[in-house]
Amino acid sequence: MSVSGLNRIEKKAAFSLASVFGVRMLGLFMILPVFAIYGEQLVGYSPIWLGLAIGAYGLTQALLQIPMGILSDKYGRKPVILAGLFVFLIGSIVAAMSETIYGVVIGRAIQGMGAIASAVLALAADLSREEQRPKVMATIGMFIGLSFTFAMILGPIVAESFGLSGLFWFTGLLTILAMLMIKFMVPYSVNKAPRGDNVALPEQISTLIRHPQLSRLNWGVFILHMVLTACFVTLPKQFVESGLALESHWKIYLPTLLGSFFLMVPFMIIAIKKQKEKAMFSAAVALFALSLFLLWLLPLGLGSLIFSIVLFFTAFNYLEATMPSILSRIAPAGVKGSVMGIYSSSQFLGAFVGGIIGGFIASQFGEHMIFLAMGIATVIWLILTFGMQQLKKSKSFSFATTITCEERADEIAELLINMPGVIEATLVHTEAVAYLKVDEKTVNLAEIKALLQSQT
């Protein structure tokens, strides 16, 4: 039967995966507010190496998200996630033990090789029904936003007490915590999609990249994270120039980011309750562009900075939470890992490009021009959103089962996916629940119930 709210498995998946994602992103974000200052102590420091150190993880993440997504489709989400976290841990140790900027760049690049974002988002989609998926993805998005908030607070504190290496040792400890959560907290699922569609082939990747609706989201997340990274080449300095010392920046970030979470709620209510998802998405992109132009136009001052940053993060948090949900709903069945891999590659490539472009603009045209350039890029994104289509809805159901064996769950999932009208079938054998995504016009629910009941 269908359920109107998150069930026990969805709650468990949402908060455990969001915690894993948040803990990992916390380690990556903590470098942003402090590296420009503490990195000067490293041998070989220069502005260009600063940009590389900030963006290096984005490049390796972008290169490996698609392969990791394909591997998660083929070998399972959790093994790929655990392997990625282990690689991330190695990168943290390398960066922590480095006394040169070059070693930190190598460590950050190795961190990026632990590209688990696509597998985590795909697992979240596996463990949630379509009508509840926006809530699960929004939870992950909110935890990412909260990790950013805590990173702005903890980064300067940890760096002041233990130095730059202390940041990376702290990141390593967080990674071990994330591995334990994946192993013992996150539910396990068996997911089956139509035959021949569950393992992505090279020609499928090419088709997914060219998909008109998916490509709009991929370009969107590229621009979103390009803007974020580029802006943080100069934002900490803007606060200092407006009279706020570095160690006090958290006093701005904390209320600003928390306030932006509350301000994004009306966007979510209108989008979901009024079924205006496309309109609210475009409105959020427009607000994002407005905040950047205000940062460029308004005279430097603490009040104007705070006002613009509130608008900036209200739009950013809404878009960050919304896009994975939309992506998972339009992704072809059976290749969610590959679709999420393309999406995550675009996201992290944007972070890498943002760091490089931000440093280039700052050195050639002045740091304030970063906001103008990023505002123009966001207007281009706004134009792309006008071609987005309204989301088509299918119906999702959940059924209780007594199947507790992985092999049997795999067999039943295979039978279900070959039944008429079944778009996707997921059996969580550890929780004895079956999720089905179906076309109500062609599905025979009685036949499905009969198959499941025959296994009791």
Question: For the segment 342-382, what is each residue's pLDDT rounded down to a tens digit?
Answer: 888 888 899 899 988 988 888 888 888 999 999 999 999 99
Tokens 């591997």, residue? 71
Interval 420-436 mean pLDDT = 77
pLDDT at residue 85, rounded to an integer = 93
Reported as a pLDDT band with limits 50, 70 and 90, residue 431 is: low
- What is the overall mean pLDDT for the chain? 81
CA-CA-CA-CA torsion for 260, 261, 264, 269, nearest 10 degrees?
-160
Reported as a pLDDT band with limits 50, 70 and 90, residue 203 is: low
pTM for this model (two decimals): 0.77
Task: Examine the pLDDT at 125 and tell me if it is beyond 60.
Answer: yes
Q: Which helix (H) or strand (E) holds 395?
A: strand 395-400
Task: Examine the pLDDT at 20 and tell me if it is beyond 80.
Answer: yes
pLDDT at residue 3, rounded to an integer = 45
pLDDT at residue 258, rounded to an integer = 78
pLDDT at residue 391, rounded to an integer = 65
pLDDT in tens, 276-306: 778 888 999 999 999 999 999 987 778 888 8
Task: Examine the pLDDT at 102 and tell me if it is beyond 80.
Answer: yes
Task: Examine the pLDDT at 335 and tell me if it is beyond 70.
Answer: no
pLDDT at residue 217, rounded to an integer = 92
pLDDT at residue 193, rounded to an integer = 46
Which tokens go with 60?
Answer: 């390796």
The better pLDDT of the pair 11, 433 is held by 11
Give the whole-angstrom CA distance, residue 211 versus residue 38: 43
Angle at 124 between CA 80 and CA 147, to 5 degrees: 85
Interval 237-260 mean pLDDT = 78
Interval 213-232 mean pLDDT = 91
- Which has the minimum average pLDDT: 10-14, 31-35, 190-194? 190-194
Task: Examine the pLDDT at 270 and tell me if it is beyond 80.
Answer: no
Q: Yes or no: say if 177 and 24 are a contact pair by the CB < 8 Å rule.
A: no
Interval 115-120 mean pLDDT = 80
pLDDT at residue 290, rounded to an integer = 96
pLDDT at residue 198, rounded to an integer = 36
Reported as a pLDDT band with limits 50, 70 and 90, residue 190 is: low
Task: Examine the pLDDT at 444 and tell me if it is beyond 70.
Answer: yes
- Of the chain, the percentage scoring pLDDT greater than 70 comes to 90
